[in-house]
Amino acid sequence: MPLPNYHQDPTLFHINTTPHHAYFIPFATQDKLAPLEREQSSLFTLLNGEWQFNYFTSVMDLPEDFLSQPFEHRIPVPSNWQTQGFDQHQYTNINYLFPFEPPYVPHDNPCGVYQRTFHYEPKSTKRYLLNFEGVDACLYLYLNQQFVGYGQVSHCTNEFDVTDFLISGENQLNVVVLKWCDGSYLEDQDKFRMSRIFRDVYLLEREPNYLQDFFIKTSLSEALDQADLSVECTFLQSPQQLTFQLFDPQHRLIAEQTSDHFKVKIDKPQLWNAEQPQLYTLHLAYGNEVIEQAVGFRRIEVKDGVLLLNNHPIKFRGVNRHDSDPLTGYVISREQAEQDFRLMKQHNINAIRTAHYPNAPWFSELCDCYGFYLISESDIESHGASMQYVPTPEHSILLNVAKQDDNQRIQQQTIDNFCYFARHPDYKQAILDRTYANVERDKNRPSVLIWSLGNEAGYGENFEASAKWIKQRDPSRLVHYESSIYQHSEHRNDLTPLDFHSEMYASTEDMDRYFEQPQTKPFLLCEYSHAMGNSNGDLEDYFQTFEKYAGACGGFIWEWCDHAPYLPDGSGHFGYGESESYIDKHHTIRLGLYQTTAEQNYQDYVKPQENGSHYGCEYLHTQDLEITAPQPFSFNFSPYTQEELTLKKHHYELEKSPYHILCVNYKMSGIGSNSCGPNLKEGYRINDKEISWIIQLYMNT
C-alpha cells in the first residue's frame, strides 16, 4: 500500500485523532491512585521497549509492501535515530535544513518504519486510545495492517481511537516516521535536529462514554480569603454523573458532590506559589474510572504595569529549557527532569520557559509539585523565513521604484519575510492547532502562569487570532509573544491581547529607556544573558535593573544547559571549574585561597576562547615563581597559548604547548553576554590609554 502524501498538506495536521484535551490518566476504581506513577494504573499499557526498525534515506525508497518487509534493525522506543546510528546529527539556529518551498519538503526525506507486536485482550464494552506523546516530525499509524491515522506537531500528543482495529491476541503495530513534513516549517527551533519516536507510547482502556476532557477553573477574592472552584466536564457522547471529592493539602476531605459538574467555595484557601506549592487534590469518579488531579489556587495578573501573583509583585529568575541530554538527546525521563529541578532549586531558579515547545505532559505535573512558574510555549518557530532572499538594487527588477535608504528597505523586507507564516492564510489553522494543543493539554496546571504563542515566527493575523482565542478560552492566565515587536509593512499589529512587552537580549539601558515613561505592560526578557561559551558576566547588572523597576518582572537566561551530544570518542565529559572569574562575573565566587594546575584551570569550551581568568588576585605562586602587587590583578594559567586559542575554531583541534602558559594581567575586561546580546558595558571595558603598574616577582630557585 503506498504511503499517503498527508505530510505536504498544510491544512491537514491530524487524521482520526481525538480532539486536543487536558492531560490525565484514568485509574480503575480498584487501583491505588498514583497519578505521577501512571504505570500503576491497570487501564494504562506502556508500549515502550525494543521495536523492530527499518531506515530509509528517502521516503521515495519506501516499498509499497513496507508493512510486510523483513526488519533489519532493532531500536529502543523512545529514542532518537541519530543517537542509534541512523541519519546524522544536524544543528542549526536559524536556517532551515531544506529549501524554502512551503509546504513542500525534499523528496530525499529520511524515514523510519517501526514495528512491534503486543498481546491484548480488548473488552467489547470498552474503548481503546493509543497515545504518542512525541514524534518528530510526523507519523502514519497502522494497526494489524490497517491504516489508522496520521499526526504531526512533534511536541504534542497524537491520540488515536483504535477500538475498531484491536484484535484479541497478538496485535501488530506499525508506525512510519518522516524526518520532515509541512509542519517542519513551523518547527525551526535553535537546537540539534533529531528524528524519532522520542516520548512514551501507551494504550488506555476507557469507558464506552468516557470522560474526554475537563477544565478546572479557580478564582480568588480580592483579599485572597475565599476561592471559587468549578469543573466543566466533556464526555464522548453525552453528559453523565460523576462523584467529585476535593481534599486539602493535608489530605482532608473538604467537599463532595455527585453531578455532571462541580462547584464549591473554599474559605481561607492555602495558596500555591513557587516557594510554597500548596496543592489540593480532586478526584473525579464514574463507572470504573477514577481520575486524580492536583489543584492550585493562585491569581496571576497585571496591575498598573506590574506583574502580581496573589497580590504580590514577582520577579522571574528563569531559564529557557530544551528537552536535552548529551546521551539520550530529546528523550528525557522523569529522573532526568527531577535532576534539573534539584539543580534549579539549588541555584534559586524559580521559573522555566518551555523553549520552544511544550515539554512532556508529566513535566508540568512535576512543576506543580516542586514549585516552578511556567511559561508554556506552543510548538512554533519559523525563524528561517527571515533568511529568504532580499534583492539588492542591482538585482531588483523594479527599476522605477522610488529611492529609499537601502538598509531600511532590506531590514523591512527581511521583517516581511519573517512574518510569512504569521500572515499566510494557509497556515492560520496550523498555528491555531498548535496553540490549541498547548493550552488544552496543560489548562489544569497551576504552575502554568503564562501562555506563549511561540518563538521567533513574526507577527500577523494568525498569531492575533491565537492570542484572542486564548483570552476567550482561558482569561485567568496571561499571554506572551516576543515577536509581536516586528511590524509587517502591510499590517498594523494588534497588541491588545498580549500582556507583556517582551524582548530578547535587550541591554539594561534598553530597559531604562522603556521605563522613562509610565507603562501599562511589564517588561519581560524572555531571553537574555546568552550562556553559550564563557558568558553570563553581566548578570549582576541585570538583577539590579530588575529590582530598580517594579514593572521589570525578570527574565529567562538562554539557556539551561549545553544541548550538544557526547561524541563517541571516549574522551569523557566537559568540565567547568567553579573559580573562573572576571570583573562582571565574580559575584558567586568566594574570595579565598585556591590551588589548581594548568590543566584543571583550563575551561573547555566547544569554541576556543578567553577562559580561566581569575579576578581580584593579590598573590600568585606557581612552581618556583611568586607574584604580588599593591593592587589586585588577574591571571590565567593554561596548557594552550593565546595564539592557539585564537586561531583554532573547535576545541578538538587544540594542540597543547610543551610549556604551561602563565598570563599575568594588569586588568581583564568583562565577559558580558555578547555571544547573542548587548555589547559589553563601558564600565567593564579596558579603555586605559596609559597605565602605571607595579608587580613584584620572586624567583625561588
Instruction: Count Cβ atoms below 10 Å from residue 320 Cβ, excluding itself.
Output: 23
CA distances to 442, 613, 644, 657, 664 from 661, rounded to whole Å, are 54, 12, 11, 8, 10
Backbone angles phi, psi at 261, to 5 degrees: -150, 175
Residue with cell 521605563: 515
Cβ pair 239, 246 in contact under 8 A: no
Nearest by Cα to 131 from 113, 151, 111: 151
Cα(436)–Cα(378) distance, rounded to whole angstroms? Answer: 9
Among candidate residues 456, 461, 503, 559, the one labeled active-site is: 456
What are the DSSP calls for 29-86, one per residue?
Answer: TTSPP-TT-GGG-TTEEE--EEEEEEEES-GGG--TTTTTSPP-EEEEES--GGGTTS
Q: Residues 336, 342, 348, 354: what is their CA dihedral angle, to the nearest 10 degrees?
A: 20
Nearest by Cα to 198 from 376, 328, 301: 328
Cα(575)–Cα(604) distance, rounded to whole angstroms? Answer: 7
396 CB-contact burial (10 Å; exposed 0-12 / middle 13-18 / buried 19+) = exposed
Cα(454)–Cα(379) distance, rounded to whole angstroms? Answer: 6
Q: Are strands 135-136 and 158-161 parallel, antiparallel or unpaired?
A: unpaired
Among candidate residues 377, 482, 527, 559, the one labeled active-site is: 527
Cβ pair 530, 666 in contact under 8 A: no
Cα(696)–Cα(701) distance, rounded to whole angstroms? Answer: 16
| Interhelix angle 334-346/361-370, nearest 10 degrees | 40
Cα(41)–Cα(27) distance, rounded to whole angstroms? Answer: 5
Cβ pair 186, 379 in contact under 8 A: yes
527 belongs to the catalytic site: yes
456 belongs to the catalytic site: yes
Cα(298)–Cα(304) distance, rounded to whole angstroms? Answer: 19
Cα(625)–Cα(603) distance, rounded to whole angstroms? Answer: 23
Q: Residues 530, 532, 538, 540: what is their CA dihedral angle, to the nearest 10 degrees?
A: 90
Encoded amino acid at 687, one letter: N
Residue with cell 518557530: 381
Catalytic residue positions, numbered: 456, 527
